[in-house]
Every structure is written in C-alpha cells, then in structure tokens.
Structure 1
Amino acid sequence: MAIWIDALRLTIGVNLLLILGLLSIWGRNYLQFRSKHTLGLFVFGLMLLAENLLALYFFLFDPVLHVWFSAEMPMIAQRAIMLIRIFETIALVFLTWITWD
C-alpha cells in the first residue's frame, strides 16, 4: 500500500524539478522579451510550483495527512491520485521538451 505513496512522492519531486527548469527558461525569456505571453507562462509556472510544493508538504510533513495517506487512505484513492500525478508529469515532460526545442 505504501508503494503508491512513495511513487506519488517521487512523481511530485520530478514535477518540481521540471517546473523549476521551465521557470528558469520562462523567467529568462520574460526578462529578454518583456511580453505578456512569457509573463503568463512564468506566473502559471509559479502557481504550478506552489501546488506541487503544497502536495509535497501534505504527503511528507503534515502530521495528520501524512499518516492518513500512508496507512488509512483507500487503495482506489491512492491509485487515482497517482494517475493524476502521472498525467501531470507526462504533460510537464512534453512542455519541457517543446520549451527547450
């Protein structure tokens, strides 16, 4: 049961690394071009970073939710959350690829 939660934590970590990479590119592009589009991408990245940091906090450090996620959460809910995180990781990998291309 805990393997799904460990995999969740791993995908959140990967997402954070990808988002930080995207933020560095989008921030640099905004400083160079000063367009609303690049600013919008940067703000979007900041919101996504905040969401993933909050999720990481809940899954690792929150005293109540950490225990619930690790031991008491139904298996179907663990799998559903994992699937959502996998979709997010795939989307971020694709977004990173087209941004660096």
Structure 2
Amino acid sequence: MSLWFEAARGAVVLNVVLLAGLATVWARNYRSHGAKHTLGLLVFACVLLAQNLLALYLYSLDPTFHSWMYDSAPVAQRGTMAMNALELVAIAFLVKITWE
C-alpha cells in the first residue's frame, strides 16, 4: 500500500467521524432554535458527509478505484491526500468553533 493512499483514506475516516458529530450537534440546535443558519450548516454537513462516505467506499471497497489510485503517479496520490487533509483541517476548525 502507498503511504499517500493510506493517509488519504485516514483523513476521509476522520472527516466522516467529525462530520457525523457536527451534523448531530447542528440537528439538535436546529430542533431547539429553528434558525435558518443552523439548518444551512446541517445541510452542509450532510452533503459533505455523503461525499466523504462515497470517498470511503471508493478507497476501501471499490476494486477498480483502489487499483487505479494505487497504480497512479505519486503526484496524484499526494494531491488526493492533500485535498483530503485540507478538508480535514477545515472540518476540524468547524468542530472547534462549534464546541466552544
């Protein structure tokens, strides 16, 4: 396995966990307050969660995608990992400000 591939998959797993937590908090807040802004955050979290669940499926279970990524050039693997890692940083920031 490529280290870059595994790092990308690890970032996606963390994204899923953090997004599920954010969606839970924002759903609870929306039920309590009914604010449109909170609904927007909830929809954002759900869409991004769906995208990350699809990525997790592709990284973990889809043999065609898995072999394509594994056999791709290292620059493609690093780029994919960088996008997932940057997304993780953004989501972690949202988690930090949500929990404060």
**TM-score (norm: length of structure 1):** 0.94
Unaligned runs of 5+ in 2: none
Q: Which digits, 9 at most, give the CA deviation of each residue in 1:38-60, with x for residues without a partner?
A: 11110000000000001111111
Report the counterpart of residue 67 of structure 1 in structure 2. Answer: 67
Unaligned runs of 5+ in 1: none
Q: Which digits, 9 at most, give the CA deviation of each residue in 1:4-31, with x for residues without a partner?
A: 1111111101111110110111000000
Contact 2:12/2:84 (CA < 8 Å) preserved in 1? Answer: yes
Q: Distance in 1 between matches of 2:80 and 2:64?
A: 18
Alignment pair present for 1:94 and 2:93:
yes
**TM-score (norm: length of structure 2):** 0.95
Report the counterpart of residue 81 of structure 2 in structure 1. Answer: 82
Identity of aligned residues (%): 44
Q: Distance in 2 between matches of 1:69 and 1:11?
A: 15
Report the counterpart of residue 48 of structure 1 in structure 2. Answer: 48
